[in-house]
Structure 1
């Protein structure tokens, strides 16, 4: 890639990022009124009045994070020859799926399922970049699976990139065990900071924003709350990541939805990822 092309991609990246920042700043005016009106201090009382439950406490601590960029690794090209049973790749090699049903010694008890699976991923017969992944709560899907993601300075990535999903089956005899059946991997490389570190909203502020935007129905239950990086748009082959609060909300009859709050602008995220290509 020549210098001119690199310069064009760089300029487009920051142009699109600044447009995104401007849009979220305008949208954030509504959320800013929340604290101005004193509602933030009363949020826990309001949740109690509407019988909206949650475990633990809503943290008021603010962390710091970045806008990040990264590229998707070509996992097909990096596949180790000794690692067999690759059953599916995407056309660009950015996602790879392996059949684990024929791999020996991948049947674990309930107590050590997570630990032993993590050790397998980091082993020579596991995956490329195995040390980069840490176990997390799975985002979506009903298929029994373990979810592992990359992280940056202690904040995980939560999207289709930088993740390993390990599917398993429960075997009831002679004793209950779990057999790993397949895995799908993606990986983010060349992670870079695009701007200076910025303060993000607290967990309490994120919950308050969901409340005033009618995302927490009466008698619902707030589950896990996770601050994580997620993909917001792409410029050529570079992916841009933003810190986001992910909040699991049980609205009744075991129906769970995942709400997302922009941790910089304190606004609800509802838009899809966009792609920009530099020719």
Structure 2
């Protein structure tokens, strides 16, 4: 057997394998550098434009801060009883109020609705004037008008007010007031409102840097949540409930992004502002004592 020949064959094969591996590695590095350069030079704005995705305003790159929060759902029946004692049964909450599953519902009479008309040209300040009347709304000064989650068009106009914590609103079924409206001429009159409220709001961790609005939009885009030809209608940062532990709820900041698709359907996508991950499950996990 010609060992020299066999040895030479192995040497050539080994050399060829190394050349192949080095070439593959070098090509992969070049591709990686190309991707990095592409990511650095092609902004999310340009990629959206390339896909005919429109929006108004600029995406903010400001890094805001927020908390993990815990809170308890207020016993509104007790709060209403205390309110009536302190106000000698004056104001809108004197009558026409029901409470079921800790949701307070107030139905206004025609005269009450007429005296509480809202001006659409100054909706935020008009609603705040109503909320600030302690005889008419429980904890009203803790809520603010949420334009993005309100609908004035159509046969059943509704506006939403949400509680806030250090300037950042909640958007959750446990911390909002929904006002049902009737349009009378140039004004809107409140016909009914339903309310939930949070008490004992506490910080579970130190204030943390949040992912920016621009990063949230990029996350939705690269995960194919914004289809070609869509329109981004608005963006909103707000606290949302992610967990219920016995009698307390846990809330985190979430980016809400409203999108109108090319076929005119309407969708709201949500991105966890701490992790910059898309929230896909709307169910709230519950942890109970055993």
Q: What TM-score, normalized to structure 2?
A: 0.77
Structure 2 CA distance for partners of 1:77 and 1:262, relative to 1, 3 Å: same
Q: Counterpart of 1:162?
A: 175
Q: Counterpart of 2:30?
A: none
Whether the aligned pair in 1 keeps the contact of 2:65 and 2:209 (CA below 8 Å) is yes
- 1:98-122 residue CA offsets vs partner (Å, 9 max, x unmatched): 0023425123443344423321222
1:210 to 217, 220, 224: 220
Question: 1:270, 1:214 → 2: CA distance?
Answer: 13
- Structure 1 residue matching 2:121: 3-state secondary structure: coil
Q: Counterpart of 1:100?
A: 108
Question: 1:262, 1:188 → 2: CA distance?
Answer: 21
Question: 2:180, 2:148 → 1: CA distance?
Answer: 11
- Compute the displacement of 1:138 (Å): 4.8
Q: Counterpart of 1:261?
A: 271
Question: 1:97, 1:38 → 2: CA distance?
Answer: 54
Structure 2 CA distance for partners of 1:112 and 1:137, relative to 1, 3 Å: closer
* Of 38-47 and 199-208, the range deviating more from structure 2: 38-47
Question: 2:122, 2:109 → 1: CA distance?
Answer: 18
Q: Counterpart of 1:186?
A: 196
- Compute the displacement of 1:253 (Å): 4.6
- Compute the displacement of 1:250 (Å): 0.9
Question: 1:75, 1:44 → 2: CA distance?
Answer: 46
Q: Which runs of 5+ in 2 are unaligned?
A: 1-34
Question: 1:121, 1:78 → 2: CA distance?
Answer: 16
- Compute the displacement of 1:179 (Å): 1.5
Q: Counterpart of 1:25?
A: none
More helix by share: 2
The within-5 A match list for 1:101-116 is: 101-102=109-110, 103=112, 105-116=115-126
The within-5 A match list for 1:224-235 is: 224-235=234-245
- 1:259-279 residue CA offsets vs partner (Å, 9 max, x unmatched): 000111111001121111124
Question: 1:88, 1:164 → 2: CA distance?
Answer: 14
Q: Residue 78 in 1 paired to residue 79 in 2?
A: yes
- 1:7-60 residue CA offsets vs partner (Å, 9 max, x unmatched): xxxxxxxxxxxxxxxxxxxxxxxxxxxx97863752111100000011111111
* Of 116-125 and 146-155, the range deviating more from structure 2: 116-125
Structure 2 CA distance for partners of 1:278 and 1:129, relative to 1, 3 Å: same
Question: 1:107, 1:139 → 2: CA distance?
Answer: 20
Q: Counterpart of 1:45?
A: 46
1:222 to 207, 224, 232: 232
Whether the aligned pair in 1 keeps the contact of 2:53 and 2:232 (CA below 8 Å) is yes
- Structure 2 residue matching 1:151: 3-state secondary structure: strand
Q: CA RMSD in A?
A: 2.1
- Structure 1 residue matching 2:188: 3-state secondary structure: strand
- Structure 1 residue matching 2:277: 3-state secondary structure: coil
Whether the aligned pair in 2 keeps the contact of 1:169 and 1:179 (CA below 8 Å) is yes
Question: 2:171, 2:121 → 1: CA distance?
Answer: 25
Q: Residue 90 in 1 paired to residue 120 in 2?
A: no
Structure 2 CA distance for partners of 1:274 and 1:46, relative to 1, 3 Å: same
- The higher radius of gyration belongs to 2
Q: Which runs of 5+ in 1 are unaligned?
A: 1-34
Whether the aligned pair in 1 keeps the contact of 2:148 and 2:234 (CA below 8 Å) is no
Whether the aligned pair in 1 keeps the contact of 2:148 and 2:236 (CA below 8 Å) is no
- Structure 1 residue matching 2:242: 3-state secondary structure: strand
